[in-house]
Amino acid sequence: MSFGVDICLNPPPRPRLRVKPGAVRGRKGPLSYPAYRRVFTARAISSAGSFMQIVAATWYAYKITDNAAAVGVLAALALGPGMIGAPAGGFLLGYFDLRRLAVTLSLCQAVPPAAMAAVEITGELSIGWMYVLVFAGAIPSSLNQPAMAMIEPQTVPQHLRQSAVALSSMIYNVTRLFGAALGGFVVEWAGVAAAFAFNAASFAVVAATVAGLHLDQDVARPLARQVIRLTDGLKHVWSMPLVRTGAVAVAVFFTLVAPVEQLMPVVAKEHGMTPRSVGLLVGAIGVGALLANSFIARFKPEDVRRQQLMALGLLLAAVGLIGLAVTPHHGILIDLLGALLIGLAWESEFVSGQSTVAIEVPPEYRGRLMGIFFLLVTATTAGGAVLLGLLHEWMDMAWTFLFTAAVVATAAVLLALRARMRISPRGA
């Protein structure tokens, strides 16, 4: 008897943007292409708006409830739809025009934050309404991920697509810094409604930008569909030690450390800070992730090196959690350092985990396992946000972070010992 889950995957033909032949000459990078610049800029604005909303929503939720668990539930509602949204979004690509689908879903994304802004202005934005509207906004956001992921690289020639994807990844961390910091200032000076309104407008910018792209007509054709059993090969892949250790390390980090980003309002309030400080703390995570990129690039793509990097990342995360736990009142500099260390660890765990799937998993299972990797990240972050919120209510913030730091540090030591055991036989 099979307990596999059947999903519909869509390996679509890649849509091609119409690029004039003479336009390719003399161009050095993706940003040299006007279509990519427009999409890149629109996505950057949208990402900044999303981080502004994270700061505004989490701060407002904690302000009106004074309950960390309520903030954890909010984070879980924002992340939950992503567990099924991406596969469902791929399914929709089998039936709808890519550009029209992306435009429609982007406009749908704009509605919930606009509603939150309107309701907050009237003074009627309760925690219940916020839960409903945040969850409603997360649904089209997760559905739109496959469509937008397909569109952006297609605005440049084939040889520049990897660079285009790398730039898009970089801008995520840049906007985490500036969007979150700006969100903190906006909340303090203009209120949470202004942050929600900006986020709504940013999705409208994405919709208008994508609507102006001219993709080839073959994009409008129904994409070929292939039903694949999700559990095919899972038993074989799970028998690989590197995959198991990588999955455990990722699960530990995204359950016990990553949700701290959503709980920064709790940190700020416990340490006597303002909404502006929430934006700075979330932004510091982005700074750490950016700094980690150059460090990670120096690691050779070897299995042992990836294990060492993941162990180091968990250790840095534990130190960062301890910093957040022991920070004295108004000690924002120590908090910022702790958040920066968490950002360094975040990039280390995410890149190492994704690389393990891309390199170690056999090609016939790689695509499906990559989807499971993102599912693991989303599910553990959502569950971890609720868990940390409940722990905070039970034993306060400092003890919560010290406890999770101990668990994360233990995992780091075990992973480092495992990596050392793999090195020893080679040196014998």
Q: Where in the chain is the domain with CATH 1.20.1250.20?
A: 1-19+26-229, 232-428
Query: Half-sphere exposure (CA, 13 Å, Cβ side) for 105?
Result: 24
What are 69's two structure tokens? Answer: 């668990």
Q: Which amino acid is at 255?
A: T
Q: What mean pLDDT do residues 276-288 have?
A: 86
Give the CA distances from residue 336 to residues 82, 266, 281, 324, 342, in Å, rounded to whole numbers and listed in that order.
29, 14, 6, 9, 10
What value does the mean pLDDT take over residues 178-200?
A: 91
Helices 332-360 and 275-296, axial angle in degrees (round to 10): 40
Q: What's the average model confidence in pLDDT over 156-166?
A: 70
Say how far apart CA 108 and CA 100 lie, in whole Å: 12
Please state which of the ranges 158-162, 328-332, 422-426 shows the lowest mean pLDDT: 422-426
Chain centroid to CA 119: how far?
Answer: 27
Could you tell me what percent of the chain has a pLDDT over 90?
Answer: 31
CB 200 within 8 A of CB 333: no
pLDDT of 417 > 80? The answer is yes
pTM for the model: 0.69
- The answer to whether domain 232-428 has CATH 1.20.1250.20 is yes
Least confident stretch, 1-15, 183-197, 202-216, 409-423: 1-15
The pLDDT of residue 19 is above 60: no
Tell me the pLDDT band of 419, cut-offs 50, 70 and 90: confident
Those residues whose C-beta lies under 8 Å from the C-beta of residue 9, and which sit 6 or more positions away, are 87, 90, 225, 226, 227, 228, 367, 368
The reported pLDDT for the residue numbered 402 is: 95
Q: How confident is the model at residue 363 (pLDDT cuts 50, 70, 90)?
A: low
Residues 331 and 415: their CA atoms lie apart, in Å, by 32
Give the pLDDT mean for 408-415. Answer: 94
Q: Which pLDDT band holds residue 413 (cuts at 50, 70, 90)?
A: very high
Residue partners of 29: CB distance under 8 A and separation at least 6 = 160, 163
pLDDT in tens, 372-402: 777 788 888 888 988 998 898 888 888 999 9
Measured CA to CA, the distance from residue 184 to residue 214 in angstroms comes to 37
**1-19+26-229 has CATH 1.20.140.10 classification:** no
Residue 57 banded pLDDT, cuts 50, 70, 90:
very high
In a 3-state reduction of DSSP, which class is residue 205? helix
Q: Could you report the per-residue pLDDT of 313-329, keeping only the tens digit for each?
A: 999 999 999 999 988 76
Q: Please say if the pLDDT value at position 342 is more than 50.
A: yes
**Distance from C-alpha of 352 to C-alpha of 296, rounded to nearest angstrom:** 9
Average of pLDDT values for 39-62?
92
Q: Identify the residue whose tokens are 């009142």.
A: 329
Instruction: With cut-offs at 50, 70 and 90, classify the pLDDT of residue 422.
Output: low
| Count of other CB atoms within 10 angstroms of residue 392 | 22
Task: Name which residue leads in pLDDT, 79 or 196.
Answer: 196
- For 215-244, write each residue's pLDDT tens digit: 654 444 444 444 445 555 566 667 677 778
Backbone angles phi, psi at 6, to 5 degrees: -85, 130
Alpha helices, H only, 66-97: 68-79, 82-92
So what's the pLDDT on residue 33? 85
pLDDT greater at residue 161 or residue 8: 161
**Residue 40 predicted with pLDDT over 80:** yes
Q: Region 129-145: what's the mean pLDDT?
A: 92
Q: Please, what sign has the CA dihedral across residues 33, 34, 35, 40?
A: positive
Contact present, 314 and 345 (Cβ < 8 Å): yes
- Report for 87-91, 286-290, 406-410: range of highest mean pLDDT: 406-410
The residue-averaged pLDDT of 282-296 equals 82
Mean pLDDT score across all residues of the chain: 80
Average pLDDT (22-51) is 80
More confident residue, 24 or 235: 235
Backbone angles phi, psi at 14, to 5 degrees: -70, 125
Between 241 and 309, the more confident residue is: 309
Residue 9: what pLDDT?
A: 38
Most confident range (mean pLDDT) of 55-69, 137-151, 362-376 is 55-69
- Structure-token pair, residue 36: 């990519």
Alpha-carbon distances of 222 from 90, 97, 159, 218, 271, rounded to whole Å: 12, 8, 27, 9, 55
What amino acid is encoded at 144 in this protein? Answer: N
